[in-house]
Amino acid sequence: MKSVVWVLLCCCMLAIPSVVYPMMATKGGPSAEPDRVVVFDVWNYFDSAGINDVRQQADIFYALTSLQGIVNRERPRLYLLAALSLFDLESKYRGTSVVETVPVTDLDAFWLEWIQQKGWIRSDSIVRLNTLEDVFSCYESEIKGLVLWDVSVGATLNAALMAAGAEDWLPVSDRLADGTLGVWLKEKFPALQVKLDLSGAFQGGASTVSLDGIEFKSCGSAKNDVYRFVIERFLKSEQLSADWMWYNCDGYIWGAPERWKTAAYGRELYARLGNRAQFQNNGLYNADFWVSKRAVFVDLYPWGDSAPSDDPNQRVGEDLKTWNDILQISYEQRDGRFGVAGGFISWWIKYTKAQGNPHDAVPGEWQFVQLLTSYNMLNDADAAFGIANASFFQHMPKIAQAGCKWEYPPLRKLEPGTTYIAFMMMDYDGSAWLNQSAVSIYRDPARGKIPLNWCINPILNFRVPHAFQYMAENRTKLDFFGIESDGTGYLSPYYLQAGKRAGRVQTDALRAYENFSEKLRERYGINYNAFYITSAVDDPWLEMCARLNPEGFGVHVSNPPLSVDGAPVVFLKPFSVADVVGGRFAGALEKVYRQASDGRAANHFEPLRCILLTPTQITTVVEEMEKKYPDAKVKIVDWPNFLHLRKQWLSLKGKNDDR
């Protein structure tokens, strides 16, 4: 393939949109053309090349997404067709009779077409390649070498991905699928040499690690030794960015033959999609953005009271110590400014009761976020759902600040005896979720029938600005924005407080977060927050939230104070798609409508956290309740009006209480 001459193809390329080229030359192809966009359909390639071994596919993805991060660092050049809109099944059709047969949207194809329609990339700039060799040939001159990671020590995968960001080396396993990828690269691209060999370097126990000029006595855990090496080799030298971190499930899933099978999220729901869904759920598409940002990759147990399931023989607390080491270095290099950590604890794979650890998944999530918050890192929470092409998407235009002047209905006057409902469309605090939700949920035909409040964290515009732009452009008069989900990024505000922080840093960060948040909120027209998740409700952080949200805000804990410094505080009742399927959502709304029709004089307020619910799922129940209880005094309102009405109610309540 590398010997094919490009001259004739280049002569006609500008005249033909979206041309498919079966072969590429090593030089003079799209890599030499700044405005060229290479599109590669990875799963189609696997099918056509007969690559069916999941381990070989994984090895290719780790290398390919790292390459994508390298070449997309400065501009959008390489786009992969890989991800599906899994929320078609997770949310849109779950619990219906068609869930096992309905087509699933090709997510990356959808966004590529829309981006072209916007004119953000020209159709005649697209070159579609068919083979991995063609893709690597385009960018061979930009790959500075290879890094070999050790399948028997899963953490070395994360070390290799960090080497990709720091040195522009591609990660290749020492023996996934018998090392097929490494053998192929040696044959096709002999100039690519192994610059760092991690295989066999980490033995744990009483061994000594000696690698690449770095030597130290093992802490007893091969996993943690890998990160100790990374700290010395890449972090202390500041070859990696302190502003970006990715909580990435490491190579543990490949260390034994049965692990891939047990590491399946939503096995029944996604079974017919096979490895393609599992790759996405396990985050194998996500590395590109973080490589492009030279991010720190970690996969460490957030608890200090037990050893993790992936390294049960380590000294208890070793993972947590290492994570504190990394976060402390990051914090100091950032001078305490706020950074972004993507990813999420992979509860279906490791670290929870399902794998023999003592903690449930949700407390593990909170522990993870509390630790990040304690070092001034906000979470972009890609929980169990992957995203491809974020390194490409980051270069798409962000919505103009002028386009963030959100319009709301006129403020209402409180009507006695009326129940007010606000449907809060959540949890859009992760880029992978928003990237799918804009396609699977937001395009729902029932949108526009009732007021819906779309709660989107502004930091998602770093990775998926196109998704937010799409939603804003296509909103109806009853779609409301300018609302965060659980902060500017997912955090636990209690752990911003001096003396309350979970890590080694105890400096108060309330004002620092407030200043950071205000800038992004102003940029994206954010004036409201749906709610905050945190472990305790107390004054210092509540006062900060009241300053940021003087009209009011929500929390995830029940029975919060009615108000703080004049700002109403409300508890959001959570409802998931499972609650819709199981009837709990309908039952809760029926109770609201029934009580609102019994002639009571009191006002009631029902803010509902709708986790991935579709407009159809909500409006169907609302319409049923309106027919069943035609006399119910219920009004569905936007979030600004809901808080304004709540504030009026509090004022009246205060006057009555004073009598």
Domain that holds residue 119: 7-344+381-393
Pairing between β-strand 145-149 and β-strand 169-173 as defined by DSSP bridges? parallel
Reported as a single tens digit per residue, the pLDDT across 36-50 is: 999 999 999 999 999
Query: Could you tell me if 29 and 78 are in contact, meaning their C-beta atoms sit under 8 angstroms apart?
Result: no
- The residue ranges of DSSP E strands in 344-464, in sequence order, are 377-380, 419-428, 452-456
Q: What is the mean pLDDT of residues 554-576?
A: 94
Question: For the chain, what is the radius of gyration of the CA atoms?
Answer: 26
The domain tally of the chain equals 2
- Give the per-residue pLDDT at 21: 31
Say if 581 falls within a structural domain. yes
d(C-alpha 128, C-alpha 112), whole Å: 12
Reported as a single tens digit per residue, the pLDDT across 419-465 is: 999 999 999 999 999 999 999 999 999 999 999 999 999 999 999 99
Say if 402 falls within a structural domain. no
Say if 361 falls within a structural domain. no
- Give the per-residue pLDDT at 34: 64
Q: Are residues 317 and 429 in the same domain?
A: no
Give me the CATH number covering residue 513.
3.20.20.490
Say if 2 falls within a structural domain. no
> Which amino acid would we find at residue 530?
A
> Which amino acid would we find at residue 425?
M
Q: Are residues 500 and 624 in the same domain?
A: yes
Could you please report the per-residue DSSP string of 429-472?
A: -SHHHHHHHHHHTTT-TTTTSS-EEEEE-GGGGGT-HHHHHHHH
User: What does pLDDT average to over the chain?
Assistant: 92
Q: Are residues 426 and 332 in the same domain?
A: no
Q: Are residues 46 and 121 in the same domain?
A: yes
Say if 448 falls within a structural domain. yes
Q: Are residues 444 and 385 in the same domain?
A: no
- The residue ranges of DSSP E strands in 31-185, in sequence order, are 37-41, 78-81, 126-129, 145-149, 169-173
Q: Are residues 465 and 596 in the same domain?
A: yes
Report residue 14's pLDDT band, with 50, 70 and 90 as the boundaries: very low
- Give the per-residue pLDDT at 534: 84
d(C-alpha 174, C-alpha 178), whole Å: 8
> Which amino acid would we find at residue 401?
Q
Question: Cα dist. 339→127, 371, 382 in Å?
Answer: 35, 13, 16
Single out the residue of 563, 559, 319, 553 nearest to residue 455, CA to CA. Answer: 553
- The residue ranges of DSSP E strands in 228-294, in sequence order, are 244-247
What predicted TM-score, i.e. pTM, was given to this entire model? 0.93
Q: Which helix (H) or strand (E) holds 20?
A: strand 19-21
Query: Could you tell me if 513 and 506 are in contact, meaning their C-beta atoms sit under 8 angstroms apart?
Result: no
The answer to whether residue 238 scores a pLDDT higher than 80 is yes
Q: Are residues 330 and 466 in the same domain?
A: no
The answer to whether residue 12 scores a pLDDT higher than 50 is no
Pairing between β-strand 553-555 and β-strand 567-571 as defined by DSSP bridges? parallel
Single out the residue of 417, 419, 498, 430 nearest to residue 459, CA to CA. Answer: 430
Q: Are residues 490 and 388 in the same domain?
A: no
Say if 398 falls within a structural domain. no
- Give the per-residue pLDDT at 498: 94
Percent of the chain, pLDDT > 70? Answer: 94
Residues 126-147 as b/e (b if ≥16 CB within 10 A, e otherwise) read bbbbbbbbbbbbbbbeebeebb
**CB within 8 Å of 255: residues ≥ 6 apart:** 151, 152, 154
DSSP 253: G
Q: Are residues 452 and 388 in the same domain?
A: no
Torsion region of 495: left, alpha or beta (phi above 0 gives left; psi -120 to 50 gives alpha): alpha
Q: Are residues 389 and 425 in the same domain?
A: no
Q: Which residues pair with 148 in a beta bridge?
A: 172, 197
Query: Could you tell me if 359 and 353 are in contact, meaning their C-beta atoms sit under 8 angstroms apart?
Result: yes
Q: Are residues 549 and 626 in the same domain?
A: yes
Q: Are residues 169 and 284 in the same domain?
A: yes
What are φ and ψ of residue 640, in 5° steps?
Answer: -60, -40
d(C-alpha 638, C-alpha 423), whole Å: 8
- Give the per-residue pLDDT at 656: 60
Query: Could you tell me if 535 and 511 are in contact, meaning their C-beta atoms sit under 8 angstroms apart?
Result: no
d(C-alpha 109, C-alpha 548), whole Å: 39
Say if 206 falls within a structural domain. yes
Say if 413 falls within a structural domain. no
SS3 493: helix
